[in-house]
Amino acid sequence: MKKVMKICSNVLTALLFMVFLFMVFVVISSKSSGGEPQFLGYQLKTVLSGSMEPTFKTGSVIAVKPVEDTSTFKKGEVVTFLQQDNTIVTHRIMDVIKNGDNTMIQTKGDNNEDVDTQPVLAQNVIAKYTGYSIPYLGYFIDFAKSNKGTAILLIVPGILLIFYSIYTIITALREIDKGQIASDTKKTA
């Protein structure tokens, strides 16, 4: 029984520590990049609408790679682009239109019936979808980016680690006391 408790204790400690480190990573990465966390050269974007369902669900996080060469777009690729009103959208390329030196792309959300009304200038494409998404994690990251979320997600795991450390120390001290009492009774007998 003690061995099982010790294993559970170690797993819980490791889990709390990993959650704490992940929270620190998400908060620091979000704050330093101006809102979107980054990981190993990928930007993590939150899906805010259902226009690309079933490819990604609303609230998912998708990994996108920043675009370096705007002349290599192909029909069928999923790209993230900046619209005229400075909103960021992720849709699928339906057509690539070359007009001299300018390249425009016609996009469409997978869940939309019609193509987007405005073609996108190739230089407004900021990233390409890499094929990685995590459903519903976006809700969590949006919460983590808020002031309240930042405070809660940094403080709560830290407090839990402190309380768990205190519990572990108290348990260890009790075991030491039991060992000393047992050795004292042997000496007096």
Task: Map out the domains of the chain as residue ranges.
Answer: 2-175
The third-level CATH classification (topology) of the domain covering 2-175 is: Umud Fragment, subunit A (2.10.109)
Tell me the average pLDDT of the chain. Answer: 82
Whether the per-residue pLDDT at 46 is higher than 90: the answer is no
Q: Per-residue pLDDT for 58 more than 70?
A: yes
Give the strands of the sheet with 61-66, arranged side by side.
38-39, 42-46, 61-66, 125-134, 78-82, 88-99, 102-108, 120-121
Spot the catalytic one: 9, 32, 33, 49: 49
Residue 121 clears pLDDT 60, i.e. is over it = yes
Q: How far apart are CA 37 and CA 69, in angstroms?
A: 23
Work out the pLDDT band at 148, boundaries 50, 70, 90: confident
Sign of the dihedral through C-alpha 21, 22, 23, 28: positive
pLDDT above 80 (res 173):
yes
Spatial CA neighbour of 36 closest among 138, 175, 181, 161 = 138
pLDDT for position 139: 83
Does residue 28 have a pLDDT over 80? no
Say whether 146 is catalytic.
no
pLDDT, average across residues 74-80: 92
Strands (E), 135-188: none
Contact (Cβ atoms closer than 8 angstroms) between residue 28 and residue 21: no
Closest by CA position to 79, among listed 142, 41, 122: 122
Percent with pLDDT over 70 in the chain: 87
Check residue 182 and give its pLDDT.
Answer: 62
pLDDT over threshold 90, residue 106: yes
Predicted pLDDT of residue 34: 62
Mean pLDDT computed over 134-152: 79
Question: What is the mean predicted confidence (pLDDT) over 32-53?
Answer: 77
Q: Which is more confidently placed, 135 or 36? A: 135
Among the ranges 42-46, 66-70, 121-125, 174-178, which has the highest mean pLDDT value? 121-125
